[in-house]
């Protein structure tokens, strides 16, 4: 397990996430997000295919998908800084 900080390329901190497997960050299970300083991931009702935008630069950082039966934020790699563990 690794605790990672997820940032938009504009420098805005998006989340603190408990990453369980090694490799690049492809998705974030919503129930593994530890901190959400901008309130864009937690305490919201999402539907599949909803999109999440950076509150600072307004670019799409993720889209909501159902992966392995869990709601997840599928990361947009063109906007989120690359993270590998």
80 domain residue, yes or no: no
Q: Rounded to 5 degrees, what are φ and ψ at 17?
A: -130, 140
Task: Name the domain count of the chain.
Answer: 1
pLDDT attached to residue 62: 95
The mean pLDDT value of the chain amounts to 92
pLDDT attached to residue 75: 95
The model's pLDDT over 9-48, given as tens digits with 9 standing for 90+, comes to 999 999 999 999 898 999 999 999 999 999 999 878 888 8
Name the band, by pLDDT with cuts 50, 70 and 90, for residue 85.
Answer: confident
Give the residue numbers spanning the domain of 37.
Answer: 2-75
d(CA 39, CA 81): 19
44 domain residue, yes or no: yes
Name the band, by pLDDT with cuts 50, 70 and 90, for residue 65.
Answer: very high
């Amino acid at each position: 397990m690794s605790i990672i900080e997820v940032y938009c390329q504009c420098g805005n901190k998006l989340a603190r996430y408990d990453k369980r497997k090694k490799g690049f960050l492809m998705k974030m299970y919503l129930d593994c997000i530890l901190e959400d300083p901008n309130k864009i991931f937690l305490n919201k009702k999402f539907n599949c295919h909803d999109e999440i935008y950076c509150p600072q630069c307004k670019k799409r950082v993720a889209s909501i998908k159902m992966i392995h039966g869990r709601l997840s934020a599928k990361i947009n790699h063109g906007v989120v800084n690359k993270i590998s563990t």
